[in-house]
Structure 1
Amino acid sequence: MSDTAPIRLAPAAADDSVELERAELYGLLAALWLAPPDEALLRQFGVAVTQAPQQGGPLEAAWEALVAAMRATTADAAAAEHEALFHGVGKPEVFLYGSYYLTGFLNEKPLAQLRDDLAALGLTRDTDRGETEDHVAYVFEVMRYLIAGDGAGDDPTVHNLEQQRRFFRAHVQPWVGALCDAVQAHPRAEVWRSVAAFTRSFVEVETQGFDLLEA
């Protein structure tokens, strides 16, 4: 599984595939939660479309705020904020792991369940990464992979809406909102307050989409 999807910093145009747009947004969010934006990514935000093609859409305001926050920061400032919120010495200010929000502890049963589900999909953790599989960036990257795959050899029994729905319901929807709450409430959050707001809006849209699929 690739580290991140190619990132195009604009909501997809009306004639673009909805699935491509979803995959790109999952890839973008995976990148932003995993590490602070570098100069290249900030330059992309500098020329990003600031308005969604559908005025009044559910992601419009959150996207505009995210673009504005990225344009107002620097790579050094974003790196310092990411370090202060999610790393630092000892216990981080904000945890980024599903097990913590589901049980109050790290490396608990939800992580084991996630690993079982990943194995069933033929996925394993990149051993070069220090984060466990329940890191928010990892589960977003899995969603990107289930939508877009990695190439011509992708298995249609893995890359389909039903697998996306199952993974989202089990490993994204139950806890990502709590992560967003924690970030948005933190007094030191500036850039990631906007990242959290956009993440919340996007997860809400995805939830509504899967609700319709089940109706």
Structure 2
Amino acid sequence: MNAPLNFSSARPGDDSDELARAELYGLLARLWLAPPDDALMQQFRVAVTQAPEPGGLLEAAWGTLVAALRATTVEAAAAEHAALFHGVGKPEVFAYGSFYLTGFLNEKPLAVLRSDLQALGLGRDEQAMETEDHIAYVFEVMRYLIAGDDLAVCNLEQQRRFFRAHVQPWVELLCDATEAHPLAQTWRAVAGFTRSFVQVETQAFDMLET
């Protein structure tokens, strides 16, 4: 699948915590957009062994995610992803913000998102299979706002605004739907870690505003 947004390349920031945040957004975007390929599965089997924040709020959810990916196969993960998110007629689980905010696809929240992306200088890849309100793409925007080169756009205030408007209002509802679905196994763990990560980000932005 092609991502519908055109980003400048990420920069290796000096702040390791910020780089870790960007990498987690990128990882979650990858897992929601498509099933893991063999290379990503190998990373989880061999290299990914420590929680992003040992002893922190993400540790348990991270351990569950790593265990779930180690327990599945490329083929089983692909079948589960297809069954959940690419069903015939309509998917079992929708991964689009408009659906959770309005009950329908391609509604006003998508138009608002497109306007905000244009203001950030981000354009859509017309060959993309998913609309910009897919969870993978709002997470990719967050990754870019954390680790991108353009410091006039890629800064904490833009992160806060985008997160409040386009991530916080609906992503946990997607996690609810995914975790509750009987077909979800690997993606139950993906949803659990996503929920924990979004909650940590919400708390961090809450502290920023106090």
Asked if residue 94 in structure 1 is aligned to residue 93 in structure 2, the reply is yes
Q: Tell me the CA shift for residue 2 of structure 1.
A: 4.3
Structure 2 residue runs of 5 or longer lacking an equivalent are: 1-5
TM-score (normalizing by structure 2): 0.92
Q: How does 1:127-206 map to 2 (within 5 A)?
A: 127-149=126-148, 154-206=149-201
Conserved? CA contact 2:52–2:58, under 8 Å: no
Which structure has more relative contact order (CA 8 Å, sep 6+)? It is: 2
Q: Tell me the CA shift for residue 203 of structure 1.
A: 0.3
Conserved? CA contact 2:20–2:52, under 8 Å: no
Q: How does 1:3-42 map to 2 (within 5 A)?
A: 17-42=16-41
Please identify runs of 4+ aligned residues in structure 1 that moved more than 2 A: 1-6, 48-56
Report the more deviating stretch, 46-55 or 30-39. 46-55
Conserved? CA contact 2:7–2:122, under 8 Å: no
Alignment RMSD (CA, Å): 1.8
Amino acid at match of 1:181: D
The CA deviation string for residues 158-182 of structure 1, in whole angstroms up to 9 with x for no partner, is 0100000000000000000000000
TM-score (normalizing by structure 1): 0.90
Amino acid at match of 1:105: F
Partners of 1:52 and 1:45 lie apart in 2 by: 12
SS across alignment from 2:106: coil
The CA deviation string for residues 37-71 of structure 1, in whole angstroms up to 9 with x for no partner, is 01111001001343337542100000011000000
Amino acid at match of 2:163: F
The 1:53–1:94 alpha-carbon spacing in structure 2 relative to 1, beyond 3 Å, is closer
Q: Tell me the CA shift for residue 4 of structure 1.
A: 9.5
SS across alignment from 1:47: helix
Percent of aligned positions that are identical: 76
Amino acid at match of 2:203: Q
Conserved? CA contact 2:51–2:59, under 8 Å: yes
Q: Tell me the CA shift for residue 156 of structure 1.
A: 1.5
Q: How many residues align structurally? A: 203
Structure 1 residue runs of 5 or longer lacking an equivalent are: 7-14
The 1:199–1:5 alpha-carbon spacing in structure 2 relative to 1, beyond 3 Å, is farther
Amino acid at match of 1:170: A
Asked if residue 126 in structure 1 is aligned to residue 121 in structure 2, the reply is no
Partners of 2:168 and 2:17 lie apart in 1 by: 20
Partners of 1:4 and 1:58 lie apart in 2 by: 30
